[in-house]
Structure 1
Amino acid sequence: MYLADEAWPDLESYFEAESLALVPLGSTEQHGPHLPEGTDHVIAEAFAREAAARTGYLCTPTVNIGVSPHHRQFPGTMWVDAPAFRDYVESFTRNLAYHGVDRVVFVNAHGGNVQHLREVGRRLRDDGVAYAVEWMWDESIPDVVEEAFEHNGPHGGPKETALIQYLHGDLVHDDRLEDAHAGGVETITPALTMQNGARTYYDAVENSENGVFGDQTDATAEKGEELFEAASDQLVQLCEWLAEREWEELAPPAPVRSE
């Protein structure tokens, strides 16, 4: 069920029967010369809608712009400041709680959002409003990703390329895959990102001239389908696990007391 497509009487019936919602979140930022800037939010929405279709749970509209200032040197990248993002996500999640949702899966496809979604989840749980958990598709299937690609890369690499080839192939510039590989960084090593134990970079362009990592030429739509099916299975299982939990299992533990 997709919230924006439904009339309120039908949503009323859902909220009377269920208490779980999927919220897709991504970004609008550079993903190299070969992928659209909407890569992350396209991926997040695809997973959330797929899980909603399989389970019958509610999928909300997608948050398309995230915390992406580290890609700002590339034309078209959009971002919001981290505090504004956290407050916005917390506010609309409280809105869902008003309607009766007390467990939320943040279906996230952008690494820059992770720590902020975790913080929002903590706030909501500590306040007894809802249990909101952040889910990142590639972290749910690390072995599948590792087996699929020799040089994966954390951003604009073959895993994201393969998914967009499968989900929205018309948006991929396949004729630029070689250039993306040649102009990016195939393997991230500590020498690129660390100096005497300190991270010496803040922006993606400081590590990769064209903003991407990994070997994009290793991507195919067939591999993208494999990734999508495997991660969708994981998301469905997460939803089912979360829906089965009693609130007492999700609430913060009681304070530790000495005997």
Structure 2
Amino acid sequence: MGDVYMENLLKNMTWEEYRTKVDKSFLILPVGSTEQHGPHMPLGVDAIIAEKFSLAIAKKLDAVVAPTLSYGYKSLPASGGGPMFPGTIDLKGSTLTSLVYDLLEEFIADGWKKILVFSAHYENEAFLAEACDLLLRNQKEEYPKVLLCNWWDNLSEQTIPRIFDEVNFPGWALEHAAITETSLMMHFEPELVKGELIIDDGFTSPPTYQSFPPSKSLIPSSGCLHTARSSSAEKGKIIAEDATCNIVSILKKEFSSNLILNP
């Protein structure tokens, strides 16, 4: 994404450079996962997408992006393919909650008043919310404030039919390794997408229940929950720009209008 983004990464800063950012900026913590994404995409899709979105937001508002959490809550069969695939490395819910709680506590101790937790893994949501709530539930002041969001809930209504122009929208749970994630990867990291391995696979009838232990016969052997057919870098760009714009508007509202919007 170019060197212009690198200056927003916490990991590239000295402690003195980092210190100067705390009072005049805000912090973004990207959270993804490491899990299978079908035969055509790498295990790190969610972490890559989380970081790329965070960098795009940071560039707009001159924010600092913390190192990406690349492990998330358990992949579930009907929304991530489940634990049956090699390379899907899961955390327990309590582990993810404790990890994010500890990180937020440390960042707030450093003086950060405004923090965005950005998730790109569907199953993370409840545990990230739990960490934020446990940390700040008894606070009386407005700041420090932590916002939690993802990209899929921040797409404009008119964007959905532009993305699902050939295939019906199956719901976000089944959009794992399907059109939106594949398109985003084609936009962000095209060299990591094996387009020739995209297959027209997925659930014919998604389950309405969960089974423990999870059934190996429940999930398509490819790991795909819905087709990625009609994915494109152009669609990925539409998704990325739309969600980023909408999230920037939320941040300017919630973190005060004095945030500086870069061109």
TM-score scaled to structure 2, two decimals?
0.82
Query: Is the counterpart of residue 208 in structure 1 residue 220 in structure 2?
Result: yes
Cα distance change, pair 107–204 in 1 and its aligned pair in 2 (3 A):
farther
8 Å Cα contact 1:204/1:211 also seen in 2: no
Residue 209 of structure 1 deviates from its aligned partner by 3.3
2:190 aligned residue (169, 174, 178)? 169
* Partners of 2:136 and 2:35 in 1: CA distance: 30
8 Å Cα contact 1:118/1:133 also seen in 2: no
1:100 aligned residue (100, 111, 120)? 111
Give 2:74's aligned amino acid: S
* Partners of 1:139 and 1:204 in 2: CA distance: 29
* Partners of 2:248 and 2:225 in 1: CA distance: 29
Give 1:15's aligned amino acid: V
Which residue of structure 1 lines up, in the alignment, with residue 79 of structure 2?
none
- Deviation per residue, 1:68-101 (Å, 9 max, x gap): 2432100111111110111010001111100111
After TM superposition, the structure 1 = structure 2 runs for residues 1-259 of structure 1, keeping only pairs within 5 Å, are 1-18=8-25, 20-70=26-76, 71-128=82-139, 130-141=144-155, 143=157, 144-149=159-164, 150-152=167-169, 153-177=174-198, 179=199, 181-182=200-201, 184-185=202-203, 189=205, 192-194=206-208, 199-201=209-211, 203=214, 206-244=218-256
Residue 53 of structure 1 deviates from its aligned partner by 1.1
Residue 61 of structure 1 deviates from its aligned partner by 0.7
Residue 105 of structure 1 deviates from its aligned partner by 1.1
Instruction: Structure 1: give runs of 5+ residues left out of the alignment.
Output: 246-259
8 Å Cα contact 1:138/1:145 also seen in 2: no
Cα distance change, pair 201–210 in 1 and its aligned pair in 2 (3 A):
farther
Please provide the CA RMSD for this pair. Answer: 2.0
Give 1:200's aligned amino acid: Q
- Deviation per residue, 1:145-176 (Å, 9 max, x gap): 34311334321110000000111111111111
Structure with greater helix share of residues: 1
Percent pairwise identity: 23
Residues matched between the structures, number: 233
TM-score scaled to structure 1, two decimals?
0.83
Give 1:226's aligned amino acid: I
8 Å Cα contact 1:193/1:200 also seen in 2: yes
Segment drifting more, 235-244 vs 217-226? 235-244
Instruction: Structure 2: give runs of 5+ residues left out of the alignment.
Output: 1-7, 77-81, 258-263
Cα distance change, pair 120–204 in 1 and its aligned pair in 2 (3 A):
farther
Bigger CA radius of gyration: 1
